[in-house]
Amino acid sequence: MKKMPAAILVVILLSASGSSNGSEPEASGFVYARIRYHMMPGRFNRELPWHHDYPYGDEMFPDFVQRVTKVHTTRESYRIVDIDSKDLFKFPFAYLCEPGYLDLQPNDVLNLKEYLDRGGFIMVDDFRGGRDFQNLRFQLKKLYPDRELVPLDITNEIFHTFYDIDSLQYPPPYGYEPIEFWALTDEKGNVQMVVNYNNDLSEMWEWLDRGEASMHDAVTSLELGANYLIYAMSH
């Protein structure tokens, strides 16, 4: 496994995070946002979709970042942020789950597009099925009518920024279709949004925290998360 030198990583994370503003965990070198979004009406009957795996996955990820990079974070180094809030710009790395329920409103579109255009990075996770994927594509057309999601394979730089991921073939957490990786890219080909289709990295983070996941699969999910983070902070 290839690692970025810790000193370089600290500079990248601290410069991207900005100064403490009172709403973030004190002295954290990295804080990320879980996006709370407007939802399609009538499609859920239990936990709100944007809330899945909260807070266990949210606690495990920054804890892992702390352990492998020595950048100071805590298990509380995350925040819930509304998709139409300017607070989103405080967090260069954001997480959005269950995009099949996403329903972007006009103010959401303006805010999210500005966030991505200014260098923000979003990890989309925790969904399966053609209907949900088609809804994600439909919603993204509101932001960028001329762009399409593109498939990612093992040769993409995002899988080799901190850890050298040697394979994207591992059992899907849902046990259905194979895992796929997709991306929304900017005009230069840089990944702005990584999409984990038929996958649920955050649930694997949660399961590891609870002792309910295989060590191999859970560690792979955390390595992917770390790579996404380093890519986001260095592009």
3-state secondary structure of 61: helix
Residue ranges of domains in the chain: 6-234
Amino acid, res. 14 = L
The model's pTM = 0.87
In this predicted structure, the answer to whether residue 173 has a pLDDT above a threshold of 70 is yes
Give the angle 96-131-32 at the CA atoms, nearest 5°: 5
Q: Which of 165, 155, 173 is nearest to 217 (CA)?
A: 173
Q: Are 195 and 228 in contact (CB under 8 A)?
A: no
CATH assignment, 6-234: 3.40.50.12140
Q: How far apart are the first and last CA of the chain?
A: 21
Q: Does residue 147 have a pLDDT over 80?
A: yes
pLDDT for res 16:
37
Bond before 55 cis per omega within 30 degrees? yes
pLDDT exceeds 50 at position 21: no
Q: What is the band of 10 on the pLDDT scale with cuts at 50, 70, 90?
A: very low
The strand pairing partners of 39, in sequence order, are 102
Sequence-distant contacts of 169-175: CB under 8 A, at least 24 apart: 170/216, 170/217, 170/220, 171/217, 172/128, 172/198, 172/199, 173/199, 173/200, 173/203, 173/204, 173/217, 174/128, 174/198, 174/200
Q: Is the pLDDT of residue 92 over 70?
A: yes
| 142: pLDDT strictly greater than 90 | yes
Q: What is the pLDDT of residues 200-227, one digit of tens each?
A: 998 888 776 666 667 777 788 999 999 9
The predicted model gives 74-79 an average pLDDT of: 93
CA dihedral 226, 228, 233, 235 (to 10 degrees): 140
